């Protein structure tokens, strides 16, 4: 309970950490905020060239019947980037706040949660562009209104994981490198660049798919494709799994972090 | 004020830090050695207990590395005690480093919001104090510029302004009074004084003993992690200085003294001249008990002994001394002629004493010249310019400002009648 009170009392600080990050991020770059879109756009272009043009990957048809790999990939990539940015950013945020934590008391989760919020703002911008594209190609349906709900769930899920790794990283700096490697593995284990149907063409594809589907990230990506590509409401079991995973993640993350971070100012 | 619960209670607090031998553990090490980390434990504070009364100004003194800052950090909640507890009554505003939370790319105003929220204030509270902060810092023209273009002085001014203007209940300050220009320092003191009158508890670390004595209601002296003394500031400062002086005397006696006493030819001074019929062989300092010393104390007795050696009989020589400050100001230059002494004919070796009781020089290092001349003071037999050093330590004199303690007395206040009051307006 005391922690909830403290969290509420320091909400302004969390917000300020977020705005500090956003405001200082693209200072002194000529293109400024444009970079936050140029980067994903470049990744999108590269993957599209490699997988669609060279390997001839083809997504399942969208609600309006189109099979544009770029748009299909765009959805997956935005979701992945959000998760990836939070987990990596959270680790950096805690270490970055180290010198401050040694001088003034504030809850160490404040810079971490602030980082998640700033990632949310960035992702929101990407989503605005994405929704514009979807409307442009005529694949908009009211299911897109579920976007904020799914985003909130993903924010909570990713932050729970980010908190744990941020704490571990404060004690063992190897963790951030390790996480970098693991995230790459997870990226390819999640249907971001490949449509799940592609797996079924392989001999053990069905089994592999069953295994991969356990990953909440798999479910997140597919849930976003439900509402933005297939234009359907995700199945109740999918919702259940996402809710459960998010609740467990943030619950465990916060408890572990608050318990473990009491002396973290000495380790930074 | 006395009914308020104490602002901070430090109860049997011990704090140990891990000292990593070679920075930190990597996972590889964890796997290969099976131990989480290779470190030694360093005890920064050992069973310290003290109570800071609400509304008091509390000073922490001690040498570098004695654990003062660690104690402040524990009071500020930055670290947790290894053993014991620290309790607060009131919101703590800690200034362990001014402008610590400033982000260089953000404007002064944005940084005020950030810093304020770190101190636990809401946006509304900060907005309410914004004008005072800007006014106090004197940075109105720069408040919307990124702080990276600020000078270090401006940085500190803004940091201090934020901390003291955000309505602290307990203010914790680590050696910050020495920053900023004279004008700003005065403003800081003014403000601290106001906060104090308003009942804000102020806890600060300082190496300025006069400051501790004038500003504090209570003080604590920490030495190597142990609380050595706690109580009224004058007593604590005295106890601290006594130990420091003792240590310095021992150091000087063991090193400096032997060097200087054995010295005959001039090596340390800025110059030596004279015809040499009679020479000053050395100068030594004696304390009130007649024991050789290199450190004297203001307000206590000291004797300057000038040793001489005459090659041939010299008629009526005059011995003189000069006391200079380290930056070259001549404080005084007494000699036997002005004192009306006729020394007669001197031959061989001997010494003459010049006794100051009480010593009026205020603490500092003084360079002492010694000379022997004829009665006209024009012919110099031997002149050793600033060849000797006298260290003066704080002693029984209450004076603090200037170079010397004048032997003045203050009267009591007397009322006057019929003074025209218009003179006031």
Burial zone of A140 (CB within 10 Å; 0-12 exposed, 13-18 middle, 19+ buried)? middle
- pLDDT tens digits for chain A (268 residues)? 678 888 888 888 899 889 888 888 777 777 777 887 888 888 888 888 888 888 777 888 888 888 888 899 999 999 999 999 999 999 999 998 888 888 788 889 999 999 999 999 999 999 999 999 998 888 877 888 899 999 999 999 999 999 999 999 998 888 999 999 999 999 999 999 888 888 888 888 888 888 999 999 999 999 999 999 998 999 999 999 999 999 999 999 999 999 998 888 888 7
Of A24, A27, A100, the CB nearest to B100: A100
Give chain A positions within 8 Å (CB) of B26.
Answer: 172-174
Q: Please give the angle made by the CA atoms of B368, B371 and B375, to the nearest 5 degrees.
A: 140
Q: How far, in Å, are A264, B70, B86 from residue B47 at the CA level? A: 23, 13, 12
Of B24, B106, B117, the CB nearest to A13: B117
Q: What is the mean pLDDT of residues B110-137?
A: 86
Confirm whether pTM is higher than 0.90.
no
Which residue on chain A is closest to B122 by alpha carbon?
A12
Burial zone of B254 (CB within 10 Å; 0-12 exposed, 13-18 middle, 19+ buried)? exposed
**How far A103 CA sits from the closest chain B CA (Å)?**
5
Say if A20 is an interface residue toward chain B (CB within 8 Å). yes
**How far A24 CA sits from the closest chain B CA (Å)?**
6
Alpha carbon distance B411, B197 (integer Å):
29
Q: Are strands B83-88 and B292-293 parallel, antiparallel or unpaired?
A: unpaired
Of A13, A16, A104, the CB nearest to B94: A104
Give B177's pLDDT tier (boundaries 50, 70, 90): low
3-state secondary structure of B84: strand
Residues A137/A71, Cβ–Cβ less than 8 Å: yes
Residues B170/B8, Cβ–Cβ less than 8 Å: yes
Q: Please give the angle made by the CA atoms of B198, B204 and B207, to the nearest 5 degrees.
A: 135
Say if B82 is an interface residue toward chain A (CB within 8 Å). no
Question: What residues are paired with B391 via a beta bridge?
Answer: B295, B365
Cross-chain Cβ contact A173/B24 below 8 Å = yes
Q: Are strands B318-325 and B8-20 parallel, antiparallel or unpaired?
A: unpaired
- B268-290 residue pLDDT tens: 445 678 888 899 998 999 988 88
Q: Does pLDDT of B165 surpass 90?
A: no
Give chain B positions within 8 Å (CB) of A265.
Answer: 78-79
- B56-91 residue pLDDT tens: 999 999 888 888 888 988 888 888 899 999 988 887
Longest CA–CA separation in chain B, Å: 92
Q: Which residues, numbered 32 to 61 in chain B, qualify as contacts with chain A under a Cβ-Cβ cut-off of 8 Å?
A: none
Around Cβ A100, how many Cβ atoms within 10 Å? 24
Q: How far, in Å, are A151, B48, B210, B214, B220 from residue B223 at the CA level? A: 55, 11, 19, 22, 10
Give chain A positions within 8 Å (CB) of B17.
Answer: 266
Alpha carbon distance A16, A110 (integer Å):
9
- For B308, the token pair is 């001489």
Alpha carbon distance B139, B407 (integer Å):
45
Backbone phi, then psi, for B184, in 5-degree steps? Answer: -70, -40
Which residue on chain B is closest to A101 by alpha carbon?
B78
Alpha helices (H) in B147-232, listed in sequence order: 152-165, 182-197, 209-215
Residues B113/A20, Cβ–Cβ less than 8 Å: no
pLDDT at B18: 79
Choice between B207 and B307, residue whose per-residue pLDDT is larger: B307
Alpha carbon distance B198, B192 (integer Å):
10
Alpha carbon distance A146, A223 (integer Å):
10
């Amino acid at each position: 309970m005391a922690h909830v009170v403290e969290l509420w009392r320091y909400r302004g600080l969390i917000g300020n950490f977020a705005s500090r990050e956003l405001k200082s991020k693209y200072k002194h770059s000529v293109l400024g905020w444009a970079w936050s879109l140029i980067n994903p756009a470049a990744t999108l272009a590269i993957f599209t060239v490699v997988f669609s043009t060279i390997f001839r990957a083809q997504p399942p048809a969208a609600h309006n019947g189109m099979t544009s790999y770029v748009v299909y990939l765009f959805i997956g990539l935005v979701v992945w980037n959000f998760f990836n940015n939070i987990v990596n950013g959270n680790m950096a945020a805690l270490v970055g706040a180290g010198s401050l934590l040694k001088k003034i008391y504030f809850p160490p989760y404040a810079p971490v949660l602030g980082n998640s919020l700033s990632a949310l703002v960035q992702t929101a911008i990407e989503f605005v562009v994405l929704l514009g594209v979807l409307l442009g190609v005529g694949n908009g349906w009211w299911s897109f209104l579920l976007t904020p709900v799914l985003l909130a769930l993903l924010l909570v899920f990713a932050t729970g994981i980010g908190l744990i790794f941020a704490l571990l990283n404060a004690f063992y700096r190897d963790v951030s490198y390790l996480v970098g490697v693991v995230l790459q593995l997870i990226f390819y284990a999640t249907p971001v660049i490949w449509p799940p149907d592609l797996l079924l063409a392989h001999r053990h594809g069905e089994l592999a798919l069953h295994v991969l589907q356990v990953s909440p990230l798999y479910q997140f990506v597919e849930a976003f494709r439900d509402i933005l590509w297939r234009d359907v409401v995700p199945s109740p079991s999918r919702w259940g799994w996402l809710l459960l995973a998010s609740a467990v993640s943030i619950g465990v993350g916060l408890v572990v972090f608050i318990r473990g971070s009491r002396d973290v100012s000495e380790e930074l | 004020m006395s009914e308020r619960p104490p602002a901070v209670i430090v109860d049997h607090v011990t704090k140990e830090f891990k000292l990593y031998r070679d920075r930190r553990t990597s996972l590889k090490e964890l796997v290969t050695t099976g131990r989480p980390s290779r470190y030694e434990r360093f005890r920064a504070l050992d069973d310290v207990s003290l109570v800071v009364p609400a509304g008091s100004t509390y000073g922490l003194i001690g040498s570098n590395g004695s654990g003062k800052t660690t104690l402040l950090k524990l009071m500020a909640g930055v670290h947790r005690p290894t053993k014991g507890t620290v309790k607060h009554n009131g919101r703590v505003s800690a200034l362990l480093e001014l402008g610590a939370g400033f982000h260089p790319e953000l404007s002064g105003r944005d940084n005020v919001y950030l810093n304020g929220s770190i101190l636990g204030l809401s946006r509304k509270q900060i907005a309410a104090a914004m004008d005072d902060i800007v006014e106090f810092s004197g940075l109105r023209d720069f408040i919307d510029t990124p702080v990276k273009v600020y000078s270090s002085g401006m940085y500190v001014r803004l940091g201090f302004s934020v901390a003291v203007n955000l309505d602290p209940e307990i203010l914790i300050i680590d050696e910050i009074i020495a920053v900023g220009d004279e004008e700003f320092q005065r403003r800081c003191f003014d403000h601290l004084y106001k906060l104090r009158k308003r009942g804000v508890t102020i806890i600060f670390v300082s190496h300025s003993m006069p400051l501790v004595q004038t500003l504090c209601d209570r003080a604590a002296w920490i030495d190597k992690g142990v609380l050595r003394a706690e109580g009224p500031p004058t007593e604590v400062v005295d106890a601290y200085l006594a130990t420091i002086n003792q240590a310095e005397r021992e150091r000087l006696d063991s090193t400096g003294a032997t060097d200087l006493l054995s010295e005959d030819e001039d090596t340390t001074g800025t110059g030596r001249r004279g015809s040499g019929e009679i020479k000053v062989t050395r100068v030594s300092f004696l304390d009130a008990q007649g024991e050789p010393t290199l450190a004297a104390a203001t307000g206590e007795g000291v004797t300057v002994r000038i040793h001489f050696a005459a090659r041939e009989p010299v008629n009526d020589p005059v011995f003189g001394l000069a006391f200079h400050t380290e930056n070259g100001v001549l404080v005084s230059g007494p000699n036997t002629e002005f004192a009306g002494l006729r020394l007669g004919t001197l031959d061989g070796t001997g010494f003459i004493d010049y006794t100051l009781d009480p010593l009026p020089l205020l603490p500092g290092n003084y360079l002492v010249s010694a000379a022997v001349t004829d009665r006209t003071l024009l012919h110099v037999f031997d002149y050793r310019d600033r060849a000797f050093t006298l260290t003066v330590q704080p002693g029984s004199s209450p004076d603090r400002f200037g170079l010397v303690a004048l032997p003045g007395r203050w009267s009591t206040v007397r009322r006057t009648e019929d003074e025209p009051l218009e003179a006031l307006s």
